[in-house]
Structure 1
Amino acid sequence: MSDELYTKFISLVYQRTGIAYENNKKYYVQKRIEKQVERLQVNSFNEYYQLLKFSENTAEFDRLMNDLTVNETYFFRDFPQLRNFAEEVLQQVVKEKQKNNDYKIKIWSAACSTGEEPYTLAIILQEMLDEPEKWDLHIIASDINTNVLQSAKIGLYDYRSIRDVPPEYLEKYFTLRNEKYSINASLRRSINFRKINLMDSKAIRDVTGCDFIFCRNVLIYFDDRSREKVLEDFYNSLNPGGFLFLGHSESVGRISSAYKSQRIGDTIVYSTHK
């Protein structure tokens, strides 16, 4: 594949998803394009590019993105941050809500992959809320990758995914079936899975009233322009005083001045100050 055509492919991906692939990723991207070209039996990379760019049906573009965006994840990933959310930030929000007789909590897991993050958050809510049955709990779990979303809905995991789950939670929220761990129905009820492209402002506008957004280890794949757009849309999806959690190597400060950065416990978190 010529450098010129590679640039066209990654520009199309960037334009539609905000994900920025550099020249040093050419081998990674090209191998996945080759796989799709072979599957479709089209005559050239250029013919495949024309198909992606001009087809009214986005199914082929979605298939390519499914191949490009498979990510490693597991339950209770980045435990110190989750502990901080559970023991510090969540409690702060819960106290404020109880003062106002508000018993709704809404969380958006904005790049949920195969579902480990939203199910982890559902476990935390069940464990950390006094009388969780009194609360209206709603977790939106979204991803651009339709393959991982399907896996998340099924909720069946191998040992590698559940290796950091505390034994008492494993017993309480999972059922062992043929050496796989299945999420119990009680956790599934609060989670709504949906496909959302973080560059699709219209889709994000439909996500409102969030107390927390988790978007961890995603913005590292974006450039400053697409990061700024996503952060602006997240800001509008959050309630006043809502919190945004990013990965450790990610920061809001240089990109957006809309958020208030603060240390709560031993973690930096970002909140709205509308």
Structure 2
Amino acid sequence: MTRLSDKDDGEGLSAADYDAFCRFLRERTGLSFTEAKRYFVDRRVAERMAAVGAPDFRHYLNLLRFQASGEELQLLVNRMTVNETYFFREMYQLDCLVNAALDEVVRGRELGSRVRIWSVGCATGEEPYSIAITLLERWSRVDDFEIELHASDIDSHVLARAREGIYEERSLQALPRHLIAKYFTRLDDQRWQIMEELRESIDFSLVNIADPQQMAAFRGMDVIFCRNLLIYFDDLGRREAASMFYDALSPCGFVCLGHSESMSRMSSLFVPRRFPDAILYQKPQS
């Protein structure tokens, strides 16, 4: 193994070390980085090697593999993920949720039964909070059922920010002013905090969706939002994630993907459902 400075192409890790790192990260997290992302990866690996004082890449990779606490792997993952989001992003799927999907989910259920919604790759929390606000504002049956909102991410740093619920103007750009006034407290000229009742209504958790043991804790979900996350996985990783989502869903539950993603290209387990507002992917009854 080479030192970081002993590179074969003038930039970052050697080709062999870059390949070894990408294989390791894919196995542990599902994240897949191609040669096109090499500069991005090199910079972040170099930062973390300097932070821990690793003398060369071999020592650093061994730290990632064998550190009992997993702390360094978590810190690296926090640097490797991109968390670009805002409130009411891809609103057409939230429209579909309250206009059609949830009514189908609860058909035949007793009043007071649970409805479970999971935001996967929730980043700083704009998506699950957007779901909560949409349900409160627009789903007429929201008081008829016990709503459980779950949100998860592999990045511990953004989860801490999500639980805190403090946002700047950029995150709120798509929110109508009356909803900001209703659900947020203005902290200063630049920041707003979402109301405590909403912060406490969402169960935020650190979850690696490439880890079957962690995913096994999620069962009986009615709707899973996983938007613009699987684009960072390779084909095998997407198929594995689709299979775990299938296991996590209740019969007839739905998966919502990002606008550029198609479950049909990942897995044949789900049935595409074309609603007036959006296409969702449904787990069959049996």
* TM-score normalised to structure 2 length: 0.91
CA distance, structure 2, for counterparts of residue 97 and residue 248 of structure 1? 31
Shift of 1:178: 1.5
| 1:236 has 2:247 as partner | yes
**Alignment deviations for residues 220-258 of structure 1 (CA, whole Å, 9 cap, x no partner):** 111111111111111111111100000011111122111
CA distance, structure 2, for counterparts of residue 5 and residue 97 of structure 1? 56
Match for 1:35 among 42, 47, 66?
Answer: 47
| Aligned twin of 1:182 | 193
| Aligned twin of 1:15 | 27
Pairwise mapping of residues 91-170 of structure 1 onto structure 2 (< 5 A)?
Answer: 91-94=103-106, 96-98=107-109, 100-101=110-111, 103-130=113-140, 132-170=142-180
| Aligned twin of 1:84 | 96
RMSD: 1.4
**Alignment deviations for residues 10-36 of structure 1 (CA, whole Å, 9 cap, x no partner):** 111001011110011111001001111
Q: How many residues align?
A: 272
| 1:2 has 2:14 as partner | yes
SS in 2 for 1:8: helix
| 1:52 has 2:52 as partner | no
SS in 2 for 1:242: strand
Shift of 1:126: 1.0
* TM-score normalised to structure 1 length: 0.95
Q: 1:77 to 1:42 in 2, by over 3 A?
A: same
Q: Which amino acid aligns with 1:24?
A: A
CA distance, structure 2, for counterparts of residue 130 and residue 248 of structure 1? 26
CA distance, structure 1, for counterparts of residue 242 and residue 264 of structure 2? 11
Contact 2:156 2:206 in 1 (8 A): yes
Q: Which amino acid aligns with 1:241?
A: C
Shift of 1:160: 0.3
Structure 2 residues without counterparts, runs of 5 or longer: 1-12
CA distance, structure 2, for counterparts of residue 136 and residue 97 of structure 1? 15
Shift of 1:81: 2.2
Contact 1:137 1:190 in 2 (8 A): no
Contact 1:97 1:103 in 2 (8 A): no
Contact 1:70 1:148 in 2 (8 A): no
CA distance, structure 2, for counterparts of residue 92 and residue 46 of structure 1? 53
Contact 1:174 1:182 in 2 (8 A): yes
| 1:225 has 2:236 as partner | yes
CA distance, structure 2, for counterparts of residue 55 and residue 256 of structure 1? 35
Q: 1:162 to 1:209 in 2, by over 3 A?
A: same
CA distance, structure 1, for counterparts of residue 59 and residue 114 of structure 2? 50
